Chains A and B, each alone.
Chain A
Amino acid sequence: MNVLEVADLHVSIGRTDIVRGVSFALEREQTLGIVGESGSGKSMTVLAATGLLDAPGARVGGSAILRDDRLGLARLIGASPKALRRVHGDAIGFVFQDPSTSLNPLLTLERQITESLEAHRNLTRRAARTRALDLLSAVGIPTPENRLDAYPHQLSGGQRQRVMIAIALACDPGLLIADEPTTALDVTTQAQIIDLVRDLQEQRGTAVVWISHDLGVIGQVADDVIVLQQGQVVEHRPIVELVDAPAHPYTQVLLAARPRLGGSPPPPVDDSGAVLLDVANLDVRFPVSTPTGRAQIHAVRDVSFQVRRGTTLGLVGESGSGKSTIANALTGLVRANGSATLEGQPLLGKVPRDRRRRLAMVFQDPFSSLDPRIRAGDAVAEPLRVHRLRPGRHRERVAALFDLVRLPTAFASRFPHELSGGQRQRVSIARALALEPDLLILDEATASLDASIQAQVLGLLRDLQQELALTYLFIAHDLAIVQDMSHDVLVMQEGVAVEYRPAGELFADPREEYTQRLLAAVPPERPRAARSGR
């Protein structure tokens, strides 16, 4: 029996067609994965099909029919708001991407879990509280009785997502919509949430629609997969078949672009082994002001490492591990103790300008790291102007830099909003290279990009390292791309360097328990369905 049947779904806003004729069906206990890159219409498809779309001016066509044990048949497209409210929260539960914004900061967890029980089941306050307690323990919140009266800010990101799942499952819905539920989480937390949803699904027989940009995650959860490209289904098949024999060229691109463990960087350009950056006993604390007073965060604790000229040091760890703080200390953005030298010359404290420019940085978000009112060419020329280099010859230099990052020279006159995410990140790289730095710090430089674009930018970075004999400090949370890029790897956990070894050794034989956990949490290349024989 199908829980949800969607036929010929269309969504358009103004004159733009965002979803163009999507159809699928879903049975009890089945998980349908929907995969595609940003802008492919994944979320729009599912929100429109379930009647939760809240985009002014959006027109939805086609049909979506829900079969629920209690409520019977319900048409979701074209239904009245009242009819949809009966279904939402009762027959369909939702989990969204960012657990830090999807919970109400002013209400207790109990209130947020019991709201839908009161709305749909008319439970008394006391009965709802008991149910909330059961749900919190079902989603693995430790000491749930103490957590009922807690507020979201008192929980970690992973715990918040567990609470979100408890809210979604409160009324035991037959259908769970999970919209990128692990994208904002660390890799170890992601693995826990995947397991949790699978367990709950098995116990309750829930059908799940799981949306993700990450084929690795989809491989771990889905039975069938829909590949969406520009609002159209290009492939709809069981996950194992899709991974083993992708039929559509776009699926092949997605599969080829997905970061996979097992790669290795090209051999270093310069194998003299000369040390370029030498960091010893780096220690960073910063004061943070909380509403109740000042506190200190010990962000980096006594970290030492070296980067050899022409090589890449990968810096990995989960959020809050101190990776970016190290980059900020080296570039003088935060104050640090200890020592850091670039070819013997100190980098910490007051440093002459022309030594500063031997380090350049590329940031994560290509949307916020370029000034929206400055043309791409001017952004690249700005470091030259600031450091008074090559006066009168900026235009030639900018053209050469655009060539270097494989962008047409004509793009120099474009504003950031006229460029795609990948193109913007190429501009950021060109800007970083403008001063011919010795060391390039790449702080999650590809983390915001779609997998296919990420693969291209990583390829560019590898080529540039070869061409220009560059040295990289490569900061990332994704172990697969770190393996693709790095000659040495430093693993950080809560400000401490837990393992620091040549990349080949570390990935082949991780010594520390934490490194092992990180590696184990990376979604395996083979879909889970292939291994469990489903």
Chain B
Amino acid sequence: MRSGSPRALFVFLGRRLLYSAVVLFGVLVVTFAIVQLVPGDPIRLALGTRFNQDAYDALRAASGLDRPLHEQFVSYVTGALTGDLGVSFRSGQPVTLLLLERLPATISLALVGVLIALLISVPAGIWAGLREGRLADGIVRVTSQFGVSIPDFWMGLLLITLFAGVLGWLPSSGYAPLAEDPAGWARRVILPALTVGLVAAAILTRYIRAAVLEVAHAGFVRTARSKGLAPSVVTGRHIVRNALVPVLTIVGIQLATILSGVIVVEVVFAWPGLGRLVYDAVAARDYALIQGAVLLIAVMFLVVNLVVDVLYAVVDPRIRLS
């Protein structure tokens, strides 16, 4: 960022933040409406067979559902902004606490999964894109098509059978917190992360291949070749850098998707992530928890998108210096 004014960058980021704030408000309105719009009485549904009038009144007062609508909304928004998402209808514990418990497992699975996806897809996509129509390209294309088509639970089961069953190298399921037992965490994260990572890698490879193909025919690549640069320089500095800019968006979407919960993979590997929490909350009709989880997932999407936008501005001078 040596030339031009950094003002453009700040204006750009300011606009993005403002945009995120507007979306966040919309999300708050929608999540608030979840509890208001469910057919029937959410408290009654949540209590189920444990229903009696005292328990009903107590839960209703505790969740604030006895107050007028606008008051409820204001207190919901102020609560949400200060980290108070109410109490779970089912367990009576604070929703924020329940969500926070699941975050380390979810975030670590997502980051390792995306890392694996990138380690596979970036080289494979570039390799195939530079060899359009040749055998290597065909192998990558068929393999990635296979990866896109295969269901993730099946992939998970295959990996368990191979690494936990036949080879016996890794535990078949379970979770250990990273902070307390790093080695145990690492042994247990590999298989679920590989499962989500392989699926994401298959999708990313196809995008990267297409982007490399497009850039490889660009005028500036011909210019680079006309300078007599080594093929590695033409590929690295000119083709790959330009090809990866649009791929950032897809990486962001993949990351956010895994963050918001990969239920089947979490179930297969007994991984205590957000996906299973949401699944259990829906099964138990725990609307307060659903509300909180939806809000958290939306915020994670917003944060990932914001990070992607900032990265765009960092790598592309047309955005930061327009």
Which one of A81, A153, A167, A290 lies within 8 Å of B227 (CB-CB)? A167
Task: Kindly list chain A residues whose C-beta atoms are within 8 Å of the C-beta of B49.
Answer: none
Q: Indicate which residue in A81, A103, A149, A153 contacts B223 across the interface (CB closer than 8 Å).
A: A103
Q: A56-B133, A104-B238, A292-B8 are in contact. Are A85 and B229 (CB under 8 A)?
A: yes
Smallest Cβ-Cβ distance to A102: which chain B residue: B219
B228 touches A149 (CB 8 A): no
**Complex contacts, B230 vs chain A, CB 8 Å:** 85, 119
Give complex CA distance A81, B232 in Å.
Answer: 13
**A154, B316: Cα distance in complex, Å:** 13
CB distance from A184 to the nearest CB of B (A): 11
Task: Collect the chain A residues with CB atoms within 8 Å of residue B245's CB.
Answer: 106
A408 within 8 A of B: no
CB contact under 8 A between A167 and B225, given known A291-B318, A293-B11: no
Mark contacts of B227-256 with chain A using CB atoms, 8 A cut-off: 1 yes-contact digit, 0 otherwise: 111110100011001100100000000000
Which residues of chain A have C-beta atoms less than 8 A from B220's C-beta?
A: 101-105
| B218 to A: closest C-beta gap in Å | 6
Interface centre among B3, B12, B133 (most CB of A within 10 A): B3
Q: Closest CB-CB distance, A421 to chain B, in whole Å? A: 22
Considering the complex, give the chain A residue whose CB is closest to the CB of B238: A104
User: Could you say which residues of chain B place their CB within 8 Å of the CB of A112?
Assistant: 223
Given contacts A96-B223, A101-B219, A292-B15, contact A116 B318 (CB under 8 A): no
Q: Which residue of the partner chain B has the closest CB to A294?
A: B15
A146 is an interface residue with CB less than 8 A from chain B: yes
A90 to B223, CA, bound (A): 13
Within 8 A of B (CB), among A153-173: 153-154, 164, 167-168, 170
> Within 8 Å of chain B (Cβ to Cβ): is A89?
yes
The digit string for A101-124, where 1 denotes a CB below 8 A from any CB of B, is 111111110001001100110000
Contact A115 B315 (CB under 8 A): no
Report the minimum CB–CB distance from B134 to chain A (whole Å). 10
Could you give, for residues 1-29 of chain B, a 1 whenever the CB lies within 8 Å of some chain A CB and a 0 otherwise?
Answer: 01110001001100100000000000000
Q: Provide the bound-state CA to CA distance between A98 and B220, in Å.
A: 10
**Residues A54 and B225 in contact in the complex (CB < 8 Å), given A291-B318, A291-B319:** yes
By secondary structure, the B interface counts as helix
Known: A104-B238, A119-B230, A292-B8. A151 touches B225 (CB 8 A): no
Size of the chain A interface, CB-CB below 8 angstroms = 43
- Whether a CB of chain A sits under 8 angstroms from the CB of B322 is yes
Instruction: Please name the residue on chain A nearest to B316 by beta carbon.
Output: A106
Residues of A within 8 Å of B313, CB to CB, are: 291
List of B residues within 8 angstroms of A103 by Cβ: 220, 223
In the complex, which residues of chain A have a beta carbon less than 8 angstroms from the beta carbon of B222? 52, 54, 96, 102
Q: Are A290 and B317 in contact (CB under 8 A)?
A: no
- CB of B321 closer than 8 Å to a CB of A: yes
Contact B229 A96 (CB under 8 A): no
Question: How far apart sit A98 and B226, CA to CA, in the bound complex (Å)?
Answer: 15
Q: What is the CA–CA distance of A90 and B226 in the complex, to the nearest angstrom?
A: 9
Q: How far is the CB of B234 from chain A (nearest CB, A)?
A: 10
A401 to chain B minimum Cβ distance, whole angstroms, is: 39
Q: Is the CB of B3 within 8 A of A150?
A: yes
A292 to B6 Cα, complex, angstroms: 11
CB within 8 Å for A106 and B317 given contacts A291-B12, A292-B12, A292-B322: yes
Contact of A107 with B228 in the complex, beta carbons under 8 Å? no
B228 touches A85 (CB 8 A): yes
Chain A residue, CB-CB nearest to B312: A291
Give the B-binding residues of A (Cβ under 8 A).
52, 54, 56, 81, 84-90, 92-94, 96, 98, 101-108, 112, 115-116, 119-120, 146, 149-151, 153-154, 164, 167-168, 170, 290-293
List the 8 closest A-B pairs by CB distance, nearest first: A101-B219, A88-B228, A89-B228, A89-B227, A149-B3, A94-B226, A116-B227, A102-B219
Q: List 13 A-B contacts (CB under 8 A).
A: A89-B229, A96-B219, A98-B219, A102-B220, A104-B223, A112-B223, A115-B227, A151-B321, A153-B317, A154-B4, A168-B226, A291-B313, A292-B319
Given A87-B228, A292-B8; 15 other pairs, CB 8 A cutoff: A52-B225, A52-B226, A85-B230, A86-B228, A89-B229, A90-B228, A106-B317, A119-B233, A149-B2, A149-B3, A150-B4, A291-B12, A291-B313, A292-B11, A292-B15
